[in-house]
Chain A
Amino acid sequence: MKRLMTRSLRATAVGALALVLVAACSGKSTQTESKGDVTLKINFWGDFGLTQLKPKYEASHPGIKIVLNSGEYNAQHEDLQKKLVAGSGAADIAAIDEGFIVQFRSQADKFVNLLDYGAGKYQDKYLGWKWKQSLSADGKTQIGLGTDVGGQAMCYRTDLFAAAGLPTDRDKVSALWKTWDDFIAVGKQYTAKTGKKFVDNATNVFNPVLAQQPVGFYDSSENLQMDGGPKIAFDASVNTIKAGLSANLASFSAGWDQGFVNGSFAVLACPAWMLGHIKDTAPGTSGKWDIAAIPGGGGNWGGSFLTVPKQGKHVKEAYDLLEWLIQPEQQIEIFKEVGNLPSQPALYKDPAILDFKNPFFNNAPVGQIFSGTAEGLQPQYLGKKAGPTRVAVENVLNQIQSGQVKPDDGWADAIKEADKAAKA
């Protein structure tokens, strides 16, 4: 009896194994597509405001199906990089952030050259620097078309400002901090009055100041230039730390998010895309935020591109969709939906953007504020290694804040670490 059992067991096992093997081998072939039906997948992070646009495009383009795949910011970029190496599996349209665009631009051969499909006619519609950011080094391949730009402004808590005896009106607040030194002086007043911290983190002084410099970490021939812009930004940050203004909360960490709710800081450098994060993180602070001009004026932080990886099976259809998405009507709809500011300056004159007021931010005219900074921008070259270099210098600032490095030794450390990152 036992013998019989084991035999039948064995037979079952072999059968099951055969089934598994057959199933494993046939995974691909069972996935048939009915002819003429094209599925286009778009990979992005956060909210690109595409949910409303998807059914619209599908209705006007029978036979096309759009799949929206929203993921985590870093994960999406890493995933795209891996798929490019593997040679298959990338989405039909992949969004790429400004922080990663140089990395992918130098692999331009893995993307469809949008100029081949006639994207050249949009060049004049875009902010000049935005168009250049996704252009390959030889200027012959355009890998992506811009969606939004960040711009720069300073978000502040009107209730906390009022409690500290500071003005709350956005024009008066803007007038308080023409320069970053003024900004630190205001911070000292706030901290002296309330005993609370003023900014979330010194790195969020470093980044906006650096974005305002004509040259960032790297010059256009990819040489690390620490003595120019980075030095100015670093000094401003160290002064902020020395004045005791920083709450030392790492951006996008859990503690940072709690900080929004608890009022651990009163100001935050905010590009257009940050507004959504504040609103989602601390819905209870609705109406308590307002937006003033950024000290020093201007600068850009972030913004994205839509690209078409070459390995896609429906490259032509993907380009058609991409072209449709960057048309003014769609860009304005995205702005209204999620607040992402278009990168085509002609749209800034559009009443839909010009007159838009955000109730969460005390009815601040966000369209006007951000488009103003984006238009007056000095384009800054972002080197291939700008991302890791930024992390390296931010880490030095974090070490100063946690007391592991003396403020006066910080700059020497920053040079050393940036150099290491540049050579990594």
Chain B
Amino acid sequence: MVSVTSLPEAPGTERPPARKRSWRHRLLRFDLHYTPYLLIAPFFLLFLVFGLFPTIFNGVVAFRNWRLDDPEHAGWAGWDNFAKLLSDSDFWNALYNTFGIFALSTIPQLFLAIVIASVLNRRLRAQTFFRVGALMPYITPVTASTLVFDVVFARDNGIANWVLQVLGYHPDTPLDWHATKLSSWIAIATMVNWKWTGYNALLYLSAMQSIPRDVYEAAALDGAGPWRTLWRITVPMIRPVVIFTVVLSTIGGLQLFTEPMLFEQNPQAATGGAGGQWQTIAQLIYKVGWKNLNLGYAAAMSWALFLIIVIIAAANALITNRLGGGRSK
């Protein structure tokens, strides 16, 4: 960052006398003109190899028949894989699940994050402790936390069921969190929320700290309470960060894989529950590719997911922009 921003001033300040144009000068010119590119090159090289190439290759595979268990059946498939997608009840079920879990996780998560951030933005005792604490779930490996949550949401002797009992919910048989759509969605959304709320809260907090104090003082003089201040001043003023987190959560939520995968009692199946109650699209892609060994169809699904994410992320960004009172472009 420093090197890039300091570039323009350089030619004027350090131009050597014309006659002493030496290798040193040329090195400097090289440094000025090409070093920035050299420095950003690693990202683009890596992106080319691990981002762009797989995406394009995946797109090509999507139009081919490629079955690992049937090597003879290969060749161009045209739009067949995509046509199959439209009538595949598994795909629509997975899409429905993905959006269900997405809604249950993203909305409460970002809402909570804003509230937490505004609390952390006040003067608190042990401020650093709370801020670091908010980030703890984020640095916990998702596999570890999911396995713990798996115990929490166990049918027999699970903590979640114990809590329900304490709260006065006494069913005849213990609630089987894995059995129905709603219960399994709630369980998985809880894992996602736990992990990402603190992370988003810290993003909001850093944005909030750049809001000038006098705005709040003016609002306070006008008699605005903390709740009103939060939604009328804070949120509109950190709108760019809100949009950023909405887009990130959309991408993450629609690609949800590890949590539903490990929530499964038999991960080998990758079916997302006995009746596909919580099978997400990412999980279905994995199942079609590596369990059904139908790589062509899995590639078509991946591309469909990619397009869905682009559309939804764009829509969400737009909506958030409007909600935040973003008329003033």
Chain A residues in the interface with B (C-beta under 8 A): 3, 6-7, 9-10, 13-14, 17, 20, 74, 78, 81, 85, 103, 106-107, 109, 250-255, 384-385, 387-388, 391-392, 394-396, 398-399, 402-405, 420, 424
CB pair B265–A391 under 8 Å, yes or no, is no
**Could you say which residues of chain B place their CB within 8 Å of the CB of A74?**
267-268
> Which residues of A lie under 8 Å from residue B269 when comparing CB positions?
391, 394-395
- Determine which of B69, B155, B176 lies in contact with A106 in the assembled complex, contact meaning CB atoms within 8 Å: B69
Q: Tell me the nearest residue of chain B to A420, going by C-beta.
A: B90
**A3 contacts which chain B residues (CB < 8 A)?**
6, 13-14
Q: Which residue of B lies closest to A387 (CB)?
A: B291
Task: Choose among A9, A385, A424 the residue with the greatest number of B CB atoms under 10 Å from its CB.
Answer: A424
Which residue of B38, B150, B268 is within 8 Å of A391 (Cβ)?
Answer: B268
Given A388-B291, A424-B292, answer yes or no on A396-B274 (Cβ-Cβ < 8 Å): yes
* Inter-chain contacts of B227 with A (CB < 8 A): none
Residues on the A chain within 8 Å of B154, using CB = 254-255
Closest to B294 in A: A424
- Whether a CB of chain A sits under 8 angstroms from the CB of B54 is no
Give B271's nearest chain A residue, CB to CB: A395
Tell me which residues from 243 to 298 in chain B have a Cβ below 8 Å from any Cβ of chain A: 265-269, 271, 274-275, 288, 290-295
Nearest CB in chain A: distance from B239 CB, A: 33
* Interface residue? B35 (CB, 8 A): yes
> A74-B267, A254-B150 known; A6 and B38 CB under 8 Å?
no
29 A-B residue pairs with CB within 8 Å: A3-B13, A3-B14, A6-B3, A7-B31, A10-B3, A10-B35, A13-B39, A17-B39, A17-B42, A74-B267, A74-B268, A103-B293, A106-B71, A250-B265, A253-B266, A255-B154, A255-B156, A385-B69, A387-B291, A391-B268, A391-B291, A394-B269, A395-B269, A395-B271, A395-B274, A399-B275, A402-B274, A404-B179, A424-B288
Which 8 A-B residue pairs are closest in the complex by CB-CB distance?
Answer: A250-B265, A398-B274, A253-B265, A395-B274, A402-B179, A424-B292, A399-B274, A391-B269
A382 to chain B, nearest CB (A): 13
Q: Most chain-B Cβ atoms within 10 A of its Cβ — which of A6, A255, A403?
A: A255
Q: Which B residues are CB-close (under 8 A) to A399?
A: 274-275
Give 12 new A-B contacts, CB below 8 A, not counting A10-B31, A17-B38, A251-B266. A3-B13, A6-B6, A81-B68, A81-B290, A250-B266, A255-B265, A384-B70, A391-B266, A399-B275, A402-B179, A404-B274, A420-B90
Is B151 a contact of A254 with CB atoms below 8 Å? yes
Is the C-beta of B180 less than 8 angstroms from some C-beta in chain A?
yes
* A81–B292 CA distance with the chains assembled, in angstroms: 12
Complex Cα distance A183/B114, Å? 60
- Majority secondary structure of chain B interface residues (helix, strand, loop or mixed): loop
Tell me which residues across on chain A come within 8 A of B155, comparing CB atoms.
Answer: 255
- Asked if B2 is an interface residue, CB under 8 A from chain A, the answer is yes
Q: Closest CB-CB distance, B112 to chain A, in whole Å? A: 29
Residues on A with beta carbons closer than 8 Å to the beta carbon of B156: 255
Q: Are A395 and B71 in contact (CB under 8 A)?
A: no
B54 to chain A, nearest CB (A): 13
Contact (Cβ within 8 A) B68 A103: yes
A210 to B271: give the CA distance in the assembly, Å: 22
Is the CB–CB distance between A106 and B70 below 8 Å?
Answer: yes
Q: How far is the CA of A217 from the CA of B291 in the complex (A)?
A: 17
- Asked whether B195 is an interface residue with its Cβ less than 8 Å from the other chain, the reply is no
User: Which residues 133-180 of B sit at the A interface, judged by CB distance below 8 A?
Assistant: 150-151, 154-156, 176, 178-180
B288: chain A residues at CB < 8 Å are 424
Which of A20, A78, A391 has its CB near the most chain B CB atoms (within 10 A)?
A391
Would you call A252 and B179 a contact (CB within 8 A)? no
In the bound complex, what is the Cα–Cα distance between A360 and B290 (angstroms)? 38
CB distance from A170 to the nearest CB of B (A): 30
Asked if residues A14 and B274 are in contact (CB atoms below 8 Å), the reply is: no
- Report Cα–Cα, A253/B178, bound state, in Å: 13
Collect the chain A residues with CB atoms within 8 Å of residue B3's CB: 6, 9-10
Q: Which residues of A contact B2 (CB under 8 A)?
A: 6, 9
In-complex Cβ contact of A403 among B42, B68, B70, B179 (8 A): B179
Q: Which residues of B contact A17 (CB under 8 A)?
A: 38-39, 41-42
Which residues of chain B from 11 to 50 have a CB within 8 Å of any chain A CB?
Answer: 13-14, 31, 35, 38-39, 41-42
Complexed CA–CA distance, A103 and B41 (Å): 42
Instruction: Specify which chain A residues have a CB less than 8 angstroms from the CB of B291 in the assembled complex.
Output: 387-388, 391
Residues of B within 8 A of A394 (CB): 269, 274
In whole angstroms, what is the CA distance A13 to B40 when docked? 11
With A74-B267, A395-B271 as contacts: A402 and B178 at CB distance below 8 Å: yes
In Å, the complex CA distance between A398 and B272 comes to 13
- What separation, in Å, do the CA atoms of A344 and B38 have in the docked complex? 63
A16 to chain B, nearest CB (A): 10
Q: Decide if B68 touches A107 in the complex (CB within 8 Å).
A: yes
CB-CB nearest in chain A for B36: A10
Instruction: Note all chain A residues with C-beta closer than 8 A to B293.
Output: 81, 103
Q: Which chain B residue lies CB-closest to A5?
A: B2
Distance in angstroms between the alpha carbons of A16 and B13 in the assembled complex:
27
Report the minimum CB–CB distance from A137 to chain B (whole Å): 11
B59 to chain A, nearest CB (A): 18
Chain B residues with Cβ below 8 Å from A6 are 2-3, 6
Q: When A395-B274, A396-B274 are in contact, do A388 and B268 touch as well, CB less than 8 Å?
A: no
**CA–CA, A141 to B247, complex, Å?**
53
B290 near A395 (CB under 8 angstroms)? Answer: no
CA distance A74 to B41 in the complex (A): 38
CB-based nearest B residue for A402? B179
Chain A residue, CB-CB nearest to B147? A254
- Expressed in whole angstroms, the minimum distance between the Cβ of B94 and any Cβ of chain A is 14
Specify which chain A residues have a CB less than 8 angstroms from the CB of B294 in the assembled complex.
424
User: How far is A13 from B37 in the complex, measured between Cα atoms in Å?
Assistant: 13
Cα distance, A254 to B71, chains bound together (Å): 37
A-contact 0/1 string along B178-202, CB 8 Å cutoff: 1110000000000000000000000
Q: How far is the CA of A81 from the CA of B289 in the complex (A)?
A: 11
Contacts of A20 in B (CB 8 A): 42
Q: Is the CB of A14 within 8 A of B39?
A: yes
Query: Smallest CB-CB separation from B72: which chain A residue?
Result: A106
| A-chain residues with CB within 8 Å of residue B275 when the two chains form the complex | 395, 399, 404-405
Q: Which of B150, B268, B290, B292 has the most CB of A within 10 A?
A: B268
- Pairwise interchain contact B6-A388, C-beta atoms closer than 8 A: no
A117 to B205, CA, bound (A): 68
Given known A6-B2, A85-B68, A395-B271, contact A404–B38 (CB-CB < 8 A)? no
CA distance A384 to B71 in the complex (A): 13
Chain B residues closer than 8 Å to A403, beta-carbon distance: 176, 179
A118 to chain B, nearest CB (A): 27
How far apart sit A396 and B276, CA to CA, in the bound complex (Å)? 11
- Determine whether the beta carbon of B176 is less than 8 Å from that of A107: no
Complex interface: chain A residues within 8 A of B68 (CB): 81, 85, 103, 107
